[in-house]
Structure 1
């Protein structure tokens, strides 16, 4: 009796089982974090937008709050991989009753 096909079948089954256990699909959940402070952000800086890149969207820079130094720090713009069917909404600040609140950039329909 030839056991080579049986060994190959077992080896293939073990390989598929291991691949199925280690595979993790990309996460689709989104997290939103808000920061409320009493100091208004400075005016946005002018950034030269680089030439368009196929399959990417430019996320403009914004002022982020650095709690350690208790001041705003400029975070420069960057490329974000495009998501078909979605529009990128850049980060922004809103003034409210408790001071200024930061909203992280996100993908919206």
Structure 2
């Protein structure tokens, strides 16, 4: 094995060891295809946020942790008021543990 190929293998191994997260594409039966990002680092417990008093015409969206790949860690996004949508219910952002132990993030969304 040449010196250059040894250095290349060592560099690749170090890069994989220090990555801190895993990109896990998910392919479903044709024609539906989706791509998600899974990470092996569990999010911290939610931070305590004092919910402000109710505000007419608005819904409180609680804060959540989001993975920041540049910083290789979770970053807190504080809660905020969102304009209410009549006939809809807001489902907050959340983390779910998926297959193979990876954590998957789902943004908040509105449900009829």
- Tell me which interval the TM-score lies in, with the shorter structure as reference length: 0.5 to 0.7
Deviating 4+ runs (over 4 angstroms) = none
Query: Over aligned residues, Cα RMSD in angstroms?
Result: 1.3
* Of 46, 49, 72, the match for 2:48: 46
TM-score scaled by length of structure 1: 0.67
Which structure: larger Rg?
1
With normalisation by structure 2, the TM-score equals 0.66
Unaligned runs of 5+ in 2: 1-34
Question: C-alpha distance in 1, partners of 2:55/2:78?
Answer: 17
Higher relative CO (Cα under 8 Å, sequence separation at least 6) belongs to 1
Gaps of 5+ in 1: 1-32
Tell me the residue number matched to 1:17: none
Superposition map of 1:1-109 within 5 A: 34-98=36-100, 99-109=102-112
**Alignment coverage as a number of residue pairs:** 77
